[in-house]
Chains A and B, each alone.
Chain A
Amino acid sequence: MQKVLLLAAFITITTVTNAQSARQEIRRNQRFSASTYMAYPTPRTSLTPAPKGKHPFFISHYGRSGSRYHSKMKNYDTPWEVLSKADSLGKLTPLGRDVLQRVALIRQEANNRWHELTPLGHQQEQQIAQRMVERFPEVFEGNAEIDARSMVFLRSIMSMESALLQLVTLRPQLQISHEASLSDKSFMNSSDYRLKKTRNDSIALLQFRKFVSKHPTNHRFLKKLFNDMNYVRQHVDIEEFSDLMFKLATNQQNTKLSSQVTLFDIFSHQEIYTNWRKDNVWWYVNYGAWPQNGGTQPYTQRRLLRKIITDTDEFMLTGRHGAHLRYGDDVVVMPLICLLDLNGLGLVTNNLESLESKGWVDYRVLPMAANIQFVFYRTDPQDQEVLFKVLLNEKEATLPLPADRYPYYRWSDFREYYLKKLDAYGK
């Protein structure tokens, strides 16, 4: 009875969250409009107790790197140059001149740190690792085996190292190995030439552009910054400038200056919402199961999923306890989530207008430091019924599997379902 109540409560909460439209959410908190630049939200939900008689013994984790600066100098230089030049010609409003100063500060902080973790990024990784230990202490007991791998990217490696330092602080006896090697590329960051080619083929691009032009942002903010719109039309690449200014605004929450400098005030709610929608659709088109480009983009991560399965099988046989920690990129996590159909995110729809109402909302899925954790339970190494749950950003998530023990699933069900799914694609 208690369980039923719990489940009912859970369903109510989920429904409430979904019922709040993305437009409302973003209006309430502009930071959501950052799409996948959103800073990792600390999870507040509590977890379901372990299945009776079983203990967690293994975690398989794949996470993207924590909060970071934009990856290119251009992201900072171009807005600054456009505003500086306009200022030198007297083309900025007082607000425009103020914004120029803010952009200068933002640019200065990021100087020489493009694509690197911000202090907040390090902190997120530490906290995620800390909660892992606190929530599943049995996994990290004694000389537990921690096998950590990272993509060969500075920010991924530093995310991994930050997490590991936190783990060893809490559990000094852990046996840790950590690698970042191109030899792991086939599963850590695999690329698929064929899928990449179809991702943005002409039909897909056309459809995406159609959506964008149907929902123009109108760039009203330009009138607030510049006093001469003729000058803007003649001398500013409006699309690029608007795009980069919005990206500066949204990524600001990840930086050291996040509480001192904002750029959100120059955009209207409508502009912010419209910009976000474009990003959300972009993510779906590129990494979701969009039928228009074949519906198979999530399969870019088929090798990763297979590797997770085989690694887990192998680890179980050792009779040990511990964790596999993998640190990679957003463009890996998103298709993996869709391939798993986690929380129904494997959504297949031709209607890009319907993404929000169907719950395909990127900031709920892929903030900075987004992570998937499979947590495995058994009574002892001989236990034939290994159960697991999957956490998306540390919250219990659903899978398209028999759910009689939700949030727990049988590992045998998982293996069967997904190996069949992968095999079917291979054919």
Chain B
Amino acid sequence: MRMGSRKTAYQTFVLLIVLIVSSTATWAQAAFDQIQADRYFAATNYRLYPDTITTPQTPPPAGKHPFYISHYGRHGSRYMGSRKAYLTPLEILQKGYKAKKLTQLGLDLRKLLANIIHDTHGHWGDLSALGHQQNRDIARRMMQNYPEVFEGDAHIQARSTTISRCMLSMGSALLQLKSMNPQLQVDMDATHEDMWYLNFQDKQLRDSMMTRKAKQAFDKYCNPRKHNRRLMDLIFTDTAFVKQNIDDYWLNYYLLKTDHVQLNTKSYDKVRLADLFTLEDLYLFWQYENVWWYICYGPSLLNGGSQPYTQRHLLRRLIQDADSCLTLNKPGVQLRYGHDTIILPLVCLLGLNGYDFQTEDLEEVEKHGWWVSDIIPMAANLQFVFYREHPQDQDVIFKILLNEKEATLPIPTDIAPYYHWRDFREFYLKKLDAYEVR
């Protein structure tokens, strides 16, 4: 019964808007091209894990074999974190409904949002089925790409933050590995004892994300981009009413977020809002989301440029863990499961792929290729894959994969994309020391 009425509502909805939305893209920027190719590139941290993209793996220098992998991964696709996030757009529409200012499309949209709220009840923050699958697939590829590391009774140490979607992501990855090699020795834990490095919240740095200067720059960048009059005209019958009563910025924002998360929860076939938005809408949304992430978790100079150092404990821990693992004959794998707000600053701290790019001019962020969607889609992950000839080999090398693609570091190397571990240690320990003795 419910399903039937939902379907009808949806069909009407699609019919109405197909006529209205047209693509008039004339943007030249590359990020826009990305969105044109895949509109969900605009979803920033709600982007689906791009596991359809496969890149070739460079063979290691002769004689070197993979023997240890150190990983930090974000949980997979999930639902929005709170009921409020689902409720907000409906509440805004409700104002128009009460005042009888909704168009037919607005009325249909209201019903669709109510259905979404019903379907997602109690799932706030949950890992979705797709999220489980992403973690299984990443684990499977890890084992297929580096079978030597997972041979026989190889040791797998897995740690997760104490958030359920992270624990379940870890569980799914481990179930996949075990199903491929039941002999693996798995040591799994999720404890508050490990939160100091898995999910470190640096209160001082976090409180200073949005300095006055940063806020001014963000507002200046955001203001011309955040309004969506066209969308308001689709939903409401009265422009003056909208101007006085409707927060069009948040409505646009939450409708987009809702659409993006629907894809992650595979509810997309039932209810999708994508047709409400033009590619230009998506692009503008992506732009201000992108600089928001840049300011809050990236290396922005607007707030002092130190935000990436929130993850100094994690980086030091990764180095210490690797150092102790290198002394073992068969160290195996260390898997860690956490969050976007950890992995993004870590990537910037490492200066991976040039993501340590610093500027005060927010217009430069996009141009310089600092695109958050490439860094923290759902299930985003970093993998350090270590190689040596034999356990006594003094020249341990590694490569680093961002979302399973070979990435570059700002340190010299004669064996790219591989690096010498001793160079890495020296460079980053010095960097961390310099920050900590400030």
- The answer to whether B193 touches A157, judged by C-beta atoms less than 8 angstroms apart, is no
Sort chain B's interface into a size bin: 20 to 34
Which of A122, A157, A169, A174 is within 8 Å of B167, CB to CB? A157
- Complex CA gap A174/B182 in Å reads 12
Chain B, 143-195, CB within 8 A of any chain A CB: 162, 164, 167-168, 170-172, 174-175, 178-180, 182, 186, 188-193, 195
Q: Find out whether the CB atom of A168 lies under 8 angstroms from the CB atom of B175.
A: yes
CB distance from A322 to the nearest CB of B (A): 15
Among B121, B174, B189, chain A packs the most CB atoms within 10 A around the CB of B189
CB distance from B259 to the nearest CB of A (A): 21
Distance of A221 Cα from B212 Cα, bound (Å) = 61
Complex partner residue of A111 from B132, B175, B193, CB under 8 angstroms: B193
Interface residues on A, range: 20 to 34
* Interface presence of A256 (CB below 8 A): no
Check B168–A178 contact: CB distance below 8 A.
Answer: yes
B126 at interface by CB-CB < 8 Å: yes
B122 beta carbon closer than 8 Å to chain A:
yes
Whether the pair B164, A152 counts as a contact (CB closer than 8 A) is yes
Residues 145-187 (chain A) with a chain B CB within 8 angstroms: 152, 154, 157-158, 160-162, 164-165, 168-170, 172-174, 176-185
Among A168, A174, A180, the residue within 8 A (CB) of B164 is: A180
Contact A165-B122, Cβ < 8 Å, known A112-B193, A178-B171: no
Query: Chain A's nearest CB lies how many Å from the CB of B366?
Result: 37
Q: Does A116 sit within 8 A of B, measured CB to CB?
A: yes
Q: Which of B122, B175, B180 contacts A176 (CB 8 A)?
A: B175
A111: B residues at CB distance < 8 A: 193
Q: Which of A111, A152, A157, A185 neighbours the largest number of chain B CB atoms within 10 Å of its CB? A: A157
User: How far does the alpha carbon of A168 sit from the alpha carbon of B174 in the complex, in Å?
Assistant: 10
From A157, A158, A172, A181, B182 is in contact (CB under 8 Å) with A172
Closest-CB distance, A122 to chain B (whole angstroms)? 8
Which residues of chain A are within 8 angstroms of B405 by Cβ–Cβ distance?
Answer: none
B111 surroundings in chain A (CB, below 8 A)? none
Chain B 186-237 interface residues, beta-carbon cutoff 8 Å to A:
186, 188-193, 195
Would B171 and A113 count as touching, CB distance under 8 A?
no
Set of chain A residues within 8 Å of B172, measured between Cβ atoms: 178
Q: What is the distance, in angstroms, from A361's C-beta to the closest C-beta of chain B?
A: 33
Which of B132, B188, B191, B195 sits near A162, CB closer than 8 Å?
B188
Q: State how many angstroms separate the Cβ of A291 from the closest Cβ of chain B.
A: 35
Does B257 count as interface, using CB distance less than 8 angstroms?
no
Interface string of B291-333 (1 = CB under 8 A from A): 0000000000000000000000000000000000000000000
Q: Which residues of B contact A173 (CB under 8 A)?
A: 179
| Closest CB in chain A relative to B389 CB, distance in Å | 32
Give CA–CA (A164, B168) in the complex, Å.
11
Residues in A whose Cβ lies below 8 Å from that of B193? 111-113
Point out the residue from B122, B126, B188, B191 that lies within 8 Å of A113, measured CB to CB. B191
Whether the Cβ atoms of A172 and B167 lie closer than 8 Å is no
Could you tell me if A154 and B168 are in contact, using CB atoms closer than 8 angstroms? no
Contact B123 A183, beta carbon cutoff 8 Å: yes
- Minimum CB–CB distance from B128 to chain A (whole Å) comes to 10
Question: Assuming the A-B contacts A161-B167, A168-B182, A172-B179, are A154 and B121 also in contact, with contact meaning beta carbons closer than 8 angstroms in the complex?
Answer: no
Which A-chain residue is minimally distant from B178 (CB atoms)? A168
- Please determine whether B182 and A183 come into contact, CB atoms closer than 8 angstroms: no
A181-B192 in contact (CB<8A): no
Most chain A Cβ neighbours within 10 Å, of B121, B162, B171: B171
Cβ of B124 under 8 Å from chain A: yes
Number of A-B contacts (CB under 8 A): 83
Given A157-B164, A178-B171, A180-B168, A113 contacting B192 (CB threshold 8 A):
yes
Measured CB to CB, the nearest residue on chain B to A157 is B167
Task: Report the Cα distance A313→B391, complex, angstroms.
Answer: 57
Bound Cα distance A178, B128 (Å): 11
- Identify the interface centre among B124, B129, B164, B174: most chain A CB within 10 Å of its CB: B164
**Closest chain A residue to B172, Cβ basis:** A178
Contact B182 A154 (CB under 8 A): no
- Pick from B129, B162, B188, B195: contact of A161, CB below 8 A: B188
Minimal beta-carbon separation of A293 from chain B (angstroms): 30
Docked-complex contact B190 and A168, CB < 8 angstroms: no
- What CA separation (Å) do A177 and B131 show in the bound complex? 12
Q: How many whole Å from B181's CB to the nearest CB in chain A?
A: 9
Question: Nearest residue in A to B196 (C-beta to C-beta)?
Answer: A112
Q: Which of B175, B180, B192 counts the most chain A CB atoms within 10 A?
A: B175
In the complex, what's the smallest C-beta–C-beta distance from A119 to chain B, in angstroms? Answer: 9
What's the least CB distance linking B289 to chain A, in Å?
Answer: 27
- CB–CB B126/A161 < 8 A: no
Closest residue of A by beta carbon distance from B182: A169
* A residues near B192, Cβ cutoff 8 Å: 112-114, 116
Interface string of A91-118 (1 = CB under 8 A from B): 0000000000000000000011110100
- B190 proximity list for chain A (CB < 8 A): 116, 154, 157-158
Q: How far is the CB of A173 from chain B (nearest CB, A)?
A: 7
Q: Mark A180-202, 1 if CB is under 8 A from B, else 0.
A: 11111100000000000000000
- In the bound complex, residues from chain B placing their C-beta under 8 Å from that of A176 are 175
A156 and chain B: residue at smallest CB distance = B164
Q: A161-B174, A161-B188 are in contact. Are A154 and B167 (CB under 8 A)?
A: yes
- Give B96-154 interface residues, CB cut-off 8 Å to A: 121-124, 126, 129, 132
What's the least CB distance linking A36 to chain B, in Å?
Answer: 22
Indicate if the CB atoms of A181 and B178 lie closer than 8 Å.
no
Q: Shortest Cβ distance from B390 into chain A, in angstroms?
A: 30
Known: A113-B193, A178-B168. 10 other contacts (CB 8 A): A116-B190, A157-B168, A158-B167, A158-B190, A165-B186, A165-B188, A174-B179, A178-B172, A182-B124, A183-B121
